[in-house]
Amino acid sequence: MRQLAAEGLIVSRQGSGSFICPRDRAENGSHPITVDQGAARAFKAAMDSLDQVHGQAVSAIWTMRERQQASECSAELIAKLRELAEVAANLQNEAVTRIVEREETPHAKGDDF
């Protein structure tokens, strides 16, 4: 958030309800994007990139003439996907824990992820 403020991208800040606005939108008077909207867009872009990179890795493996190399690369891909799945599971568990804690705390304000 400090970096966004330094770049003049934070329009207003109210607890966890900060608003950011890309430079081109700030200049032409467009509406700001909330942090959650920006994070959701960044997540969608990251997922699209992940799909693209995964497809490239699969295509590269399929085009390998050396089956041993293809097998080794497939094993490496499996290991990486398992690693990513473990990190995602940990993120989900943390999110669920925070949801439960928030529901148990009557006047909880904001989520600090």
pLDDT digits (tens, 9 = 90+) for 19-73: 445 555 545 555 555 668 888 889 999 999 999 999 999 999 999 999 999 999 9
Task: Kindly report the pTM of this predicted structure.
Answer: 0.59
Does some domain include residue 8?
A: yes
Domain with 10 in it = 1-63
Q: Who's near 35: CB < 8 A, 6+ residues apart?
A: 16, 17, 18, 19, 20
Same domain flag for 17 and 45: yes
pLDDT band for position 104 (50/70/90)? confident
Residue 93 burial by Cβ neighbours in a 10 Å radius (0-12, 13-18, 19+): exposed
Same domain flag for 5 and 59: yes
Rounded CA gap, 71 and 86, in Å?
23
Q: How many domains does the chain have?
A: 2
Same domain flag for 23 and 46: yes
Does some domain include residue 5?
A: yes
